[in-house]
C-alpha cells in the first residue's frame, strides 16, 4: 500500500504524538472507565480520543449511515438497556455496509454494520455482539492496546493503528471503514474478557443467553461455505474459535439452568429490521459472494418471515450468479415468489427479462404488464414500455 501525502503527514504527527506522550500508567492495569468520564487533557489517552473524535466526525459525514429512524432508535435503545449509566457516553452509528461487523472506539463511537443486522436472527443475538463491543469500551481495551503497542513497538499493530487514523477525512470505502474498526485487534485475553462481560451484560439486560453462541456458529458456517475467499473483517479483529463458542455454550447452559431463559425478542427485531431487509439483501448480493449469501438466505428462510421477498432474492442470487442452469432456476424461484403473494413488484420485471431472453414472448409480455400494473410510477416504466413494444 502506498501512502499518500496526507497519510504520511498524519503518520508523522502520530509518531510524534506517541513519542512525546505523557506517561499515563503501566499497560494492562487500567481501571474500568466510569460513566461520563473523559481522559485528563494532558494524558496519552486524551490524544487517542482526539484521533477518534476526528474519525467520528468523518463517519458522521461519510454518507454511509442508515437514516431510518426506526432502526436507529431501536439499536440505540438496546445499547442503553445494555450499558445503563453509560448510555449517554456511547454514540451509535448504523453503517450501511454488507459485512458482519460491529466496533467500538475508545471515545464511545459505536459502529453497527448492516451486514450484522441482516445476519442476526433476533434481538438477543444482536445484544450479545453489542455487549461484547461495549465490554471493550468499559474495560478500556483500546487504551491498553495503544499503550501495549507503544511499549512493544510492534510495527504491524502500529501500522493498523496508523492506517485507522489515516481514515480521517475519507471514511467511506470499505477499506477505510475496516481500518477504522481494526483499532480493535485485541489480544486473546481481552477477547475472552469481552466475551464474558458481553455475556454478563446481555443476561443482566434480560436476554436469553442461549442465543449468544448461535450467531458465532452461523458466522463460522458462512465462512466455511465461502472457503475463506471473502475477507471476514470481524474475524480478522475478533478471532472466532470453536473454543470461544464452547465457552459461551457452557455459560449459557449454566445461566439457563439457574433461572429463566430470558427474552429472545424476535418480533421486536423484525419490526425494526424488516422494513430495511430488501435493501440489505440487495447490498449483500452485490458482494458477489454467492456461497456465503446462500447461507445467509437459508437462515432467513428458516426464520420463515416474508417468504415472497426471500424467494425473489433467491431468484436474484441465481440470476446474478449465472451458472449453467441458473436462468431456469431463477425463473422457477421468481414464480414461487409470486405465488407467495408478498413478492416485490420487481419479481415480475425480472421474470419479464428472463422470459424475453428465452424467447417466450407471451410470458414476457404478461410479466412486464404485471410489473407496470403493480408499479405504475416505476422509474423505469419508459424502458419497460419499450420492451413491450419490441415484444409485439
Least Å distance, CB 295 to Zn ion, is 22
CA-to-CA dists, residue 183 to 65, 105, 109, 179, 374, angstroms? 20, 8, 12, 7, 48
Which value, to the nearest 10 degrees, does the dihedral of the CA atoms of residues 289, 291, 295, 296 take? 20
- Whats the size of the chain, residue-wise? 392
Verify binding: residue 139, Zn ion, rule CB under 5 A. no
- In this complex, which beta carbon is closest to Zn ion, that of residue 54 or of residue 244? 244
Residue 194 binding Zn ion, by CB under 5 A: yes
Q: How far is the CB of 117 from Zn ion (least distance, A)?
A: 18
**Minimum distance between the CB of residue 84 and Zn ion, rounded to whole angstroms?**
20
CA distance 366 to 360: 10
- If the CB atoms of residues 150 and 238 are measured against Zn ion, the closer one turns out to be 238
Residue nearest to Zn ion (CB): 238
Q: Is 138 in the site for Zn ion (CB under 5 A)?
A: no
Is the CB of 30 or the CB of 388 nearer to Zn ion?
A: 30
Residues in 223-242 that interact with Zn ion by CB under 5 A: 238
Q: Name which of 179 and 330 has its Cβ closer to Zn ion.
A: 179
> Which residue number, 192 or 261, has a Cβ lying nearer to Zn ion?
192
Give me the least distance between CB of 237 and Zn ion, in Å please: 7
In whole angstroms, how close is the CB of 27 to Zn ion at the nearest point?
18
Stretch that binds Zn ion, among 104-112, 193-201, 248-256, 267-275 (CB under 5 A): 193-201
CB of 191: closest distance to Zn ion in angstroms? 5
The residues that bridge with 104 in the sheet, in sequence order, are 110
Q: Which is nearer to Zn ion, 18 or 183 (CB)?
A: 183
How big is the site for Zn ion, counted in residues (CB under 5 A)? Answer: 2
| Residue number, 117 or 130, with CB nearest to Zn ion | 130
Tell me whether residue 99 or residue 238 sits nearer to Zn ion (CB atom): 238
- Part in contact with Zn ion (CB under 5 A); list of ranges 186-194, 220-228, 269-277, 289-297: 186-194
Rounded Cα distance between 28 and 282, Å, is 43
* Dihedral (CA of 190, 192, 195, 199) sign: negative
Which span (115-123, 192-200, 308-316, 376-384) binds Zn ion, by CB under 5 A?
Answer: 192-200
Nearest distance from residue 252's CB to Zn ion, in Å?
Answer: 18
Report the site for Zn ion in 311-370 (rule: CB under 5 A). Answer: none
Q: How far is the CB of 244 from Zn ion (least distance, A)?
A: 10
With 0-12 / 13-18 / 19 or more C-beta atoms within 10 angstroms meaning exposed / middle / buried, residue 61 is: exposed
Residues found near Zn ion in the complex (CB under 5 A):
194, 238
Amino acid at each position: 500500500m502506498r501512502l499518500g501525502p496526507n497519510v504520511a503527514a498524519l503518520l508523522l504527527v502520530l509518531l510524534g504524538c506517541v513519542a512525546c506522550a505523557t506517561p499515563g500508567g503501566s499497560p494492562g492495569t487500567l481501571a474500568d472507565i466510569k460513566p461520563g468520564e473523559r481522559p485528563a487533557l494532558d494524558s496519552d489517552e486524551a490524544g487517542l480520543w482526539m484521533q477518534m473524535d476526528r474519525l467520528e466526525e468523518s463517519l458522521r459525514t461519510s454518507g454511509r449511515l442508515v437514516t431510518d429512524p426506526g432502526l436507529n432508535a431501536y439499536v440505540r435503545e438496546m445499547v442503553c438497556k445494555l450499558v445503563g449509566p453509560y448510555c449517554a457516553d456511547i454514540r451509535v452509528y448504523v453503517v450501511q455496509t454488507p459485512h458482519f461487523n460491529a466496533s467500538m472506539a475508545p471515545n464511545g463511537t459505536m459502529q453497527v454494520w448492516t451486514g450484522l443486522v441482516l445476519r442476526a436472527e433476533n434481538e438477543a443475538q444482536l445484544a450479545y455482539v453489542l455487549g461484547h463491543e461495549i465490554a471493550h469500551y468499559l474495560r478500556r481495551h483500546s487504551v491498553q492496546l495503544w499503550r501495549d503497542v507503544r511499549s512493544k513497538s510492534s510495527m504491524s499493530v502500529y501500522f493498523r493503528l496508523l492506517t485507522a487514523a489515516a481514515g480521517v477525512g475519507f471514511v467511506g470505502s470499505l477499506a477505510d471503514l475496516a481500518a477504522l474498526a481494526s483499532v480493535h485487534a485485541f489480544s486473546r485475553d481481552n477477547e475472552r474478557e469481552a466475551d464474558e462481560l458481553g455475556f454478563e451484560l446481555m443476561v443482566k439486560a434480560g436476554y436469553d443467553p442461549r442465543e449468544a453462541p448461535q450467531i458465532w456458529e452461523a458466522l463460522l458456517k458462512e465462512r466455511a461455505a465461502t472457503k475463506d475467499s471473502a475477507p471476514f473483517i470481524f474475524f480478522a479483529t475478533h478471532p472466532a474459535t470453536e473454543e470461544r463458542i464452547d465457552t459461551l455454550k457452557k455459560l449459557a447452559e449454566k445461566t439457563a439452568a439457574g433461572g429463566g431463559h430470558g427474552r429472545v425478542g424476535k418480533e421486536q427485531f423484525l419490526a425494526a429490521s424488516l422494513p430495511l431487509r430488501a435493501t440489505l439483501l440487495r447490498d449483500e448480493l452485490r458482494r458477489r459472494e454467492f456461497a456465503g449469501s446462500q447461507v445467509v438466505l437459508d437462515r432467513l428462510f428458516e426464520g420463515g418471515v416474508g417468504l415472497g421477498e426471500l424467494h425473489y432474492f433467491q431468484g436474484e442470487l441465481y440470476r446474478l450468479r449465472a451458472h449453467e442452469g441458473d436462468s431456469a432456476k431463477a425463473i422457477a424461484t421468481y414464480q414461487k415468489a409470486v405465488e407467495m403473494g408478498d413478492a416485490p413488484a420487481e419479481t415480475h420485471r425480472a421474470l419479464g427479462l428472463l422470459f424475453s431472453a428465452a424467447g417466450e414472448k407471451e410470458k414476457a409480455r404478461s410479466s412486464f404488464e404485471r410489473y407496470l400494473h403493480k408499479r405504475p410510477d416505476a422509474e423505469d416504466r419508459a424502458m419497460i414500455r419499450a420492451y413491450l413494444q419490441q415484444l409485439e
